[in-house]
Copies of this chain bind each other. A is one copy, B any other.
Amino acid sequence: MHKSNNFNIVSSKINRIFANMELSKNKIKYFSSFAKKKTREEEQMFIVEGNKLVNELLQSDFQAESVVATREWIAENTPKCAVFEASSDDIAKISQLQHPQDVWALAHTKTQAFQSLPNGLTLALDGIQDPGNMGTIIRLADWFGVSQIICSNECVEIYNPKVVQATMGAIFRVNVHYVDLPAFLKKQQTEIFAADMFGENIYTAPLPQNAILVMGNEGNGISDAVSAIVNRTIHIPSFNTTGKTSESLNVAVATAILCSEFKRRML
């Protein structure tokens, strides 16, 4: 077993004994290593930072492994995991944020059981690459009651610290599954929509009560393999009448507008 993993298992068991220990250089190195995807995958843990997100973590059904926090934070919170007291300077050393906060945590990733396709709207993401976009989409799915997101294997990993941050906690509530997207979609009975600039006008297109909406990669849109399976394409028309406008909307923004239209009309 991995050395540092051993260390963590021990630290979980004896829990708050560590509360007054300083972070050793070794621990700083170990915690920092979770900035890397390879470490996250090997150790099956990920970074959660800041008051709001760590509080959401501790209230969720995700399991916290370690919390690193200032004395002030520790005085006001009682997480059920190993707790390390640290100075703001030491937290900054393991932080992935531009403005580190007074609490940083490691949590176990979760392999969520696939739930059968729910009624209403399901989102499918075909190669979303930007962590900010992925996090924003998870956050808006939570808002719009989209309880499950199906991601192609080419999508950015949801445990990337920038994704986690951009979800603002929604990562603890929305199920996200990585699948072979074309193979998955082929098996579904639900009508499949894809956002495409040549599609039907979303504001006037008839929409069903149940639908899968596929959003494509930031630069390349929907992949050929997925395009071949899609039943209908839709787009958000530009209201710009100058003849000169942006070629497209940001994918998270487009997802928001399409979810808004689908859900509004599913009422």
Q: Which parts of A124-150 form the interface with B (CB within 8 Å)? A: 132, 136, 139-140, 142-145, 147
Cβ-defined contact, B136 with A253, below 8 A: yes
Cβ-defined contact, A145 with B264, below 8 A: no
Q: How large is the interface on A (under 10, 10 to 19, 20 to 34, 35 or more residues)?
A: 35 or more
* A77 in contact (CB, < 8 A): no
Q: Which parts of A230-257 form the interface with B (CB within 8 Å)? A: 236, 238-242, 244-250, 252-253, 256-257
Looking at chain A's contact residues, the main secondary structure is loop
Q: What separation, in Å, do the CA atoms of A263 and B239 have in the docked complex?
A: 7
* A173 in contact (CB, < 8 A): yes
Instruction: Please give the count of copies of this chain that the complex contains.
Output: 2
CB contacts (< 8 Å) of A238 on chain B: these are 143-145
Cβ-defined contact, B240 with A145, below 8 A: yes
- Closest beta carbon of chain B to A246's beta carbon, Å: 5
* A261 in contact (CB, < 8 A): yes
* A203 in contact (CB, < 8 A): yes
CB contacts (< 8 Å) of A140 on chain B: these are 249-250, 253
- Closest beta carbon of chain B to A118's beta carbon, Å: 11
CB contacts (< 8 Å) of A246 on chain B: these are 139, 142-143, 168-170
Query: Which residues from chain A sit less than 8 Å from chain B, CB to CB?
Result: 132, 136, 139-140, 142-145, 147, 166, 168-170, 173, 203, 236, 238-242, 244-250, 252-253, 256-257, 260-261, 263-264, 267
